[in-house]
Structure 1
Amino acid sequence: MDFSLSPEIEDYRQRVRSFVEREILPVEADRSNWDEHENIGHAALERLRSKAKAEGLWSLQMPKERGGQGLPLVGMAACYEEMNRSIFGPVCFNSAAPDDGNMMVLNKIGTDAQKERWLQPIIDGKVRSAFAMTEPHPGGGSDPSMMKTVAERKGDRWVIKGRKWYITGAGEAEHFIVIARTSDDARKGLTAFLFYKDQPGWEIVRRIPIMGPEEHGGHCELIFDGLEIPDENVLMNIGDGLKVTQIRLGPARLTHCMRWTGLAKRSLEIAGEYVKERDSFGTKLAEHEGVQWLLGEAAMQIEIGRLLVMKAANELDRGGFARKEVSMAKVQVADTLFKAVDTAIQLCGARGYSKDTVLEWIYRYARQAKLVDGASEVHKMVLSRSYLSEGDRFWSWS
């Protein structure tokens, strides 16, 4: 098995790495560039986005004919990892969630008219987007069959009523995908709809406070009370909502893992630099056996996560579903990110716990990794079902 990157992908990877080092890390280091939610402020973001476009590093995941760079998922894995060496990296390249996943699903299944109207402005960086699926109890979360938001046919329109919450980016989004129930059919009961921010019949109730730093637009609670949507804004067909979520969430989960790997590596980078310089009991911390065990274990887990991500990316590029590969990567990398930053804080001591480094930012952010896009326990259930169904074929090489 050849894990080397093609010359084209390696070139993109090196250029992304150089851009992060040269342009983004200095902006990250200056707290005046941060907004009130501990993300990069809009003025600094727009400057960096313009530079990324000028250097041909914009929207790596989108087709070249739409202004992207046309990289496969394997190429995205290598580059997204480099982007998230900075806590602010992915959004500067238009590769941050939820826009990233929304662009990929619209590009894959949208009609030509929908791509022009709903996708292209996101690719161009003119608007942000959100994906509205999760609901408060007793509605749908990891189990979409519990969804309570409904869309009823009235004349030539679909009228949506219900409630969603923890909708990432909704506070600044202009383009939305919402999943609603259109029948009681177990497999064909959900439908995906597209709508604009300024349409009547819905509102943002609140931006929900969270323990960690927030994406632009936060995580919001939404109420739908008569939002009207025409047939032309149905994504795929009526009853295909579950299929839309499956098409979107698989690659989106994997791109989370790509970015989280970058944050895990950054955590060890900070810790590694510190223990090589810090003296303790007459020698450098890096010479202590206990320190070496901690660093070695975290580094090994990161590499395991990278290999799982690449295996899943390769399977998706080949046209496979990669369900179990994505689930394995999601569990492994979520755990690894938390372990890596926890290890880094432990090794850096009070400095790691303080705001003198970005470790405490990454630590608070990392806790969500085990929850978003399917809790780790749900993915382990998926893996269990796969194993019980496949037996020894679970470990097939092809």
Structure 2
Amino acid sequence: MDFTLDPRHEALRLSVRAFVAEHLLPIESDPATYNEYENIRLALRDELRVKARAAGLWAPQVSQERGGLGLSMVGQAVFYEEANRCVFGPCVFNSAAPDDGNMRLLEMTATEEQKARWLQPIIEGEVNSSFVMTEPHPGGGSDPGMTRTRAERYGDSWKIYGHKWFISGAAIAKHFILIARTDDNPDEKRRHLTAFLFHRDQPGWRIVRRIENMGPDEHGGVCELEFDGLEIPDSCRLMEVGDGLKVTQIRLGPARLTHCMRWLGVSKRAMEIAQEYVSRREGFGVRLADRESVGLALGEVAHEIQMGRLLVMHAAWKLDQGDRARKEVSSAKIHMADTLHKAIDTAIQLNGARGYSKDTMLEWMYRYARCARIVDGASEVHKMVLSRFYAKEGDDYWSWG
């Protein structure tokens, strides 16, 4: 097993790191950088996107033919980890959720006509997108089999009726991918959903509210939506009728892993902030860095981050081999959600009141990190997935195959 990065990936890693250091880290402490939702202003984001694209650091998950870098999942792991050394990195490099997962899905499954209309504008940075799946009780969440939003066929069109919520990016998105029920048979668990594409300006739906949360908010927040007869031409159906569950599986597996890649970058940044401070701060005549308790705390987090990197790389490698890597992605997701929180919490503790204040990015990162154990499947759901695999496979669960 050779973990040496190939020359292209190493060159990209260094380029991303240099770009982040030069263009992104310096603006984190400037209040003028932020919008009312504590994220980078979109106008400033777009200025920096021009620089990122000129530097050849654009859309790493998209094929070169369509204007991206065409990186494998392993290559994306290298890129994303460095990109999220700054909290603004992913959106500047056009590799932020939910757009990155939507681009990957559309490139894999859309027709050429659909790619030209729905995918290419996202790649170009002209529009943001959203994936519309989660519903309030008793609708679908981690269990898409509970989906209640329905699509009714009328000739060459479909009409959508239903209710969705916690839809990431919806407040600014223009292109939407919607999951709806097309089979009313309650016993049908595999072919009951279908995916559709629609534009923000189409009538028959509305944003009920932008849901306030701990924040800071991703661009477009998380929103509650209602559908009351949104009409979608059949030409804007993604894949075949009944393929909606397949669409969610194609999208969510890699998207969960790219979350983990980004969380590695945030975790390492928290360690940087902590290490810099304890190296110069003294108390009772001793540098904090020279106290055994501080060294143990930092060493434990470093240990957890390195385990996370190995889990992420293994899952990325499996995906590159054509495997769905469900076990590997779930393991990485569980571990990195916990590690992200632990790294930032430890850094805040070691920085004391400074860490709790807005003098560093740590309090921003801490609030951001709490959603990691919920987003794209709660940790408990992923543990349930692993339990089912173990019950089925026994000792083969740990096969090297």
TM-score, normalised relative to structure 1:
0.99
| Structure-1 residue corresponding to 2:284 | 281
User: The residue matched to 2:28 in structure 1 has which SS?
Assistant: helix
Alignment of 1:102-113 (within 5 A): 102-113=102-113
Q: Does 1:248 pair with 2:246?
A: no
- Give a deviation string over 1:234-283, Cα, whole Å, max 9, x none: 11100000000000000000000000110000001100000000001211
Matches within 5 A, 1:19-98: 19-98=19-98
In 1: Cα distance, 2:3 partner to 2:238 partner: 36
What does 1:236-275 align with in structure 2 at a 5 Å threshold? 236-275=239-278
Partner of 2:101: 101
CA distance in 2, matches of 1:372, 1:157: 32
Contact 1:27 1:44 in 2 (8 A): no
For the 8 Å contact 1:77–1:313, the answer to whether it is kept is yes
Query: Which of 335, 345, 349 matches 1:346?
Result: 349
Q: Distance in 2 between matches of 1:329 and 1:123?
A: 27
Query: Secondary structure of 1:263's partner?
Result: helix
Instruction: Name which of 318, 327, 351 aligns with 1:315.
Output: 318
How far is 1:155 from its partner? Answer: 2.1
For 1:180 and 1:330, how far apart are their aligned partners in 2?
26
1:234 aligned partner? 237
Residue 231 of structure 1 and its aligned partner are, at CA, apart by: 1.2
Aligned to 1:15: 15
Partner of 2:160: 160
1:69, distance to aligned residue in structure 2 (A): 0.8
Task: Report how many residues are paired.
Answer: 398
Per-residue CA deviation, residues 314-347 of structure 1 (Å, 9 max, x unaligned), is 0001111100000000000000000000000000
* Contact 1:180–1:190 (Cα < 8 Å) also in 2: yes
Q: 1:195 aligns with which of 167, 187, 198?
A: 198
Distance in 2 (CA, whole Å) between partners of 1:362 and 1:24 is 15
- Alignment of 1:218 with 2:221, yes or no, is yes
- Between stretches 110-119 and 348-357, larger displacement belongs to 110-119
- Identity value in percent: 65
**Are the equivalent residues in 2 in contact too, given 1:147–1:181 (CA < 8 A)?**
yes
Q: Does 1:3 align with 2:3?
A: yes
Amino acid at match of 1:175: H
Distance 1:4 1:75 in 2: 12
Deviation (angstroms), 1:29: 2.2
SS for the counterpart of 1:277 is coil
Distance in 1 (alpha carbons) for counterparts of 2:112 and 2:157: 21
Letter in 2 for 1:286: A
Q: Give the match for residue 324 of structure 1.
A: 327
Deviations 1:187-238 (A, max 9, x none): 1000000000000000000000011200111100000000011111111100
Correspondence list, 1:294-309, <5 A:
294-309=297-312
Shift, 1:392, TM fit = 0.9
DSSP 3-state at the match of 1:194: strand
Code of the residue aligned with 1:120 in structure 2: it is: Q
The amino acid that maps onto 1:303 is Q
Q: CA deviation at 1:30?
A: 1.2
SS in 1 for 2:338: helix
Q: Does 1:136 align with 2:136?
A: yes
1:119 is matched with which residue? 119
**Structure 2 unmatched ranges of 5 or more:** none
8 Å contact kept, 1:59–1:94: yes
